[in-house]
Amino acid sequence: MSMQPIITISNLSKTYASGFQALKRVSLDIRRGEIFALLGPNGAGKTTLISTVCGIVKPTEGSVLVAGHDIVADYRAARSMIGLVPQELTTDAFESVWATVSFSRGLFGKSKNAAHIEEVLKALSLWDKKDNKLMTLSGGMKRRVLIAKALSHEPTILFLDEPTAGVDVELRRDMWQLVRSLQERGVTIILTTHYIDEAEEMADRIGVISKGEIILVDDKAELMRKLGKKQLALQLETPLERIPPELVAYNLDLASDGSELIYTYDAQGERSGILALLQDLNGAGIRFKDLQTTQSSLEDIFVSLVSKKK
């Protein structure tokens, strides 16, 4: 994976006509070929950011380069590279699946290619619906049609704005699969989601946006390592009333009516202190029958980040 950014967002601000500032000097690089997950609570500015890059919303300030092409001055070159799957399910009710997907291809300046459209529809399990009118499709199928439209013109960058909202488990898995196979073909993918497990599962890098500001961008693994807390849970043989004084320094928590001791430590710390703790437990005569360690999920990290911001 090359480190040269395919999208460079510099000091991008957006103030809507209402006077509301939805983006505040956002700077962000998207690397070629990566899957980038943009996380943030409702109203954080995710859709605004994507819409601005795609040309739907006019930036108030700042600039965006897509593979070196300015999205305003050189919009044709920039936009031809981008496929967008919007958050809202908006489709032309009376069109057929085939017609609407072919329309998108033409709109993006590509000559007809029935074989490619067929491949896309098959990949999205829409082939048997190709002659159906869009209004006869279920919500999940419409979502897939929107993806097909975005892929119809062979984009090198794909924006997925909450692609799995309102989608069943099976389709979600299918979509993850699709996203991975697109990445294998060299497509850069930027997705937003409210399902943290999705970002955790899919993304190479994660950005967190809150109130129009990017508050964090990092490699997923790095992020989890840096911010991840690990916990050691010990199931005791005999429940404790309270934590013995000689163990106070470890900041232990008692759980499950005193039958469980929980030790929280920094995963990145050189010395976890586990060994010392176990020795001291032994010294205090506390015996345990089992133990597990858990690492906090991205979700925990995310919630703590966003709530800190508030």
Partner 1 sequence: MNIHAVRAIYRFEMARTWRTLMQSIISPVISTSLYFVVFGAAIGSRIPESQGISYGAFIVPGLIMLSLLTQSISNASFGIYFPKFTGTIYELLSAPVSYLEIVVSYVGAAATKSIILGLIILATAGLFVPLQVAHPWWMILFLVLTSVTFSLFGFIIGIWADGFEKLQVIPLLVITPLTFLGGSFYSIDILPPFWRTLALFNPVVYLISGFRWSFYGMADVSVGVSLAMTLGFLALFMAIVAWIFKTGYRLKA
**Residue numbers of the site for Mg ion (CB under 5 A)?**
46-47, 87
- Decide if residue 88 touches partner 1 (CB under 8 A): yes
Pick between residue 129 and residue 153 the one whose CB is nearest to partner 1.
153
How far apart are CB 211 and ligand ATP at their closest, in Å?
Answer: 9
Residue written as token pair 């001791």: 261
Site for partner 1 in 130-189 (CB under 8 A): 149
How far apart are CB 153 and partner 1 at their closest, in Å?
Answer: 9
By the 8 A CB rule, do 241 and 258 touch? yes
Beta strand 288-295 pairing with 253-255: unpaired
Pick between residue 34 and residue 161 the one whose CB is nearest to Mg ion.
161
Q: Which of Mg ion, partner 1, ligand ATP, none sits in contact with 55, Cβ below 5 to 8 A by type?
A: partner 1
199 Cα distance to chain centroid: 4
Enumerate residues 6+ apart whose C-beta is below 8 A from 68. Answer: none
Q: Which of Mg ion, partner 1, ligand ATP, none sits in contact with 42, Cβ below 5 to 8 A by type?
A: ligand ATP
Pick between residue 102 and residue 210 the one whose CB is nearest to Mg ion.
210
Pick between residue 52 and residue 152 the one whose CB is nearest to ligand ATP.
52
Candidates 70-78, 167-175, 206-214, 271-279: pick the segment binding partner 1 (CB under 8 A). Answer: 70-78
Q: Which of partner 1, Mg ion, ligand ATP, none sits in contact with 152, Cβ below 5 to 8 A by type?
A: none
Pick between residue 87 and residue 113 the one whose CB is nearest to Mg ion.
87
**At CB < 8 A and 24+ separation, what contacts does 211-219 make?**
211/24, 211/44, 211/45, 211/309, 212/14, 212/21, 212/22, 212/23, 212/24, 212/26, 212/44, 212/45, 212/48, 213/24, 213/25, 213/26, 214/26, 214/27, 214/28, 215/305, 215/309, 216/305, 217/28
